[in-house]
Amino acid sequence: MRPKATIEIEKLGTEYLILVRSLSEELACAIAAISRNDLEALKKHVESQEALCAQLLAISKSRPLQANSAALSTAQNVFHALIQTNRAYAALLETSGRSHQVLLMLCKTYKDSSCHASERAQRACSLSCEV
């Protein structure tokens, strides 16, 4: 029979891994929301990410996790998947930021050119009316 403390640590470790997997899934959902330009879904997934990170932090502060070799192998796989998803998310956010800047610049250029065209049209109209 295993000591109660060992069972509690294993339970805590399992809960921690489930939360890390959930965080990885939320990152993937956020990536999908960005690709669909779905701002509401993105907000929801970012909020979920923040809540999961808070839970992970609380668990890691409450008790240091110890693991046997099988649990360590599983944890490494889970964390590797999270790292890969996080890299893809970071790259997408960087690209989205640049795309956003380009769109803002294009909108400003279009707005400025349409304002100037409107002014030219008004001057042309007023000149033709005076003749």
- The total domain count for the chain is 1
Three-state DSSP class for residue 27: helix
Confidence (pTM)? 0.61
Q: What CA–CA distance (Å, rounded) separates 17 from 78?
A: 7
In order along its 131 residues, the chain shows pLDDT tens digits of 555 545 555 666 788 889 989 999 999 999 898 888 888 998 999 999 999 999 988 887 776 656 565 666 777 788 888 888 888 888 887 887 777 777 778 787 776 665 555 555 555 544 444 44
- Domain assignment present for 46: yes
- Domain assignment present for 115: no
Using an 8 Å Cβ cutoff, are 57 and 20 in contact? no
Angle between helices 4-35 and 69-130 (to 10 degrees): 20
The whole domain housing 27 covers: 4-101
Q: How far is CA 84 from CA 1, 31, 53, 70, 80, in A?
A: 39, 13, 17, 22, 6
User: Cβ contacts of residue 63 below 8 Å, gap of 6+?
Assistant: 9, 12
- Domain assignment present for 123: no
